[in-house]
Amino acid sequence: MNMSAAIKAYSNVAIESKAHSSDPHKLILMLYQGALLSIASAKNQMMRNEIAAKGKSISQAISIINDGLKAGLDLKVGGSLAQNLSDLYDYMNQRLLMANMKNDTAILDEVSALLIDLRGAWESIRPVEQRASTDAPQQPITRTPLVYGRM
């Protein structure tokens, strides 16, 4: 195994291990971050005219958005908010495909800005509730908002 393959294997294990030990709210943040990193890579590859790598990075971003963020939505419980997020994720995926076809970094910037806004909103709504019992030491209990249900 060459060094590059070993580093990639280690990174994959580290990411998977972190994902398994994270709470659902943190997992969504990790998905947002992963999509943003893939788009940033695609933009750099686009500017260096690395067509195959750019396509792979954009495909990875689409996969994260579609198979991670969108697939985790609970449309029944999340109601119109979950439906609006689903529609926004579809829009982002369409824009990413267009960016790939047209080699348009402005479209990548547009999708990145949307993801950054959503990530910031998600970070700000992390609920922390205190236990009602006075017998036990007060420790925060975190719950994931109901818009994501299958985590």
Taking only the tens place, the pLDDT of each residue in 3-44 is 444 444 444 444 454 545 567 888 899 999 999 999 999 999
The string of pLDDT tens digits covering residues 88-116 is 999 999 999 999 999 999 999 999 999 99
pLDDT, residue 91, reads: 98
pLDDT higher than 90, residue 141: no
Helical ranges in 48-135 per DSSP H: 51-63, 75-102, 105-124
Coil, strand or helix at 146: coil
**Claim: this prediction has a pTM higher than 0.85:** no
Instruction: Indicate which CATH number applies to the domain containing 123.
Output: 1.20.120.340
pLDDT, residue 23, reads: 77
Residue 62, both tokens:
């689409």
In this prediction, residues 125-130 reach a mean pLDDT of 58
The answer to whether residue 82 is domain-embedded is yes
pLDDT, residue 7, reads: 40
pLDDT, residue 9, reads: 46
- How would you classify residue 135: left for phi > 0, otherwise alpha for psi between -120 and 50, otherwise beta? alpha
Share of the chain above pLDDT 90, in %: 63
What stretch of H or E contains 68?
Answer: none
The answer to whether residue 14 is domain-embedded is no
pLDDT, residue 142, reads: 45
131: confidence class by pLDDT, cuts 50, 70, 90? very low
Supply the range of the domain harboring residue 28.
23-127
Can you give the length of the chain in residues?
Answer: 151
- Of the listed ranges 69-83, 98-112, 121-135, the one predicted with least confidence: 121-135
Task: Give buried/exposed letters for 44-75 (b at 16+ CB in 10 A, else e).
Answer: ebbeeeeeeebeebbebbbebbeebbbebbee
The answer to whether residue 10 is domain-embedded is no
The answer to whether residue 68 is domain-embedded is yes
pLDDT, residue 134, reads: 40
Total count of domains within the chain: 1
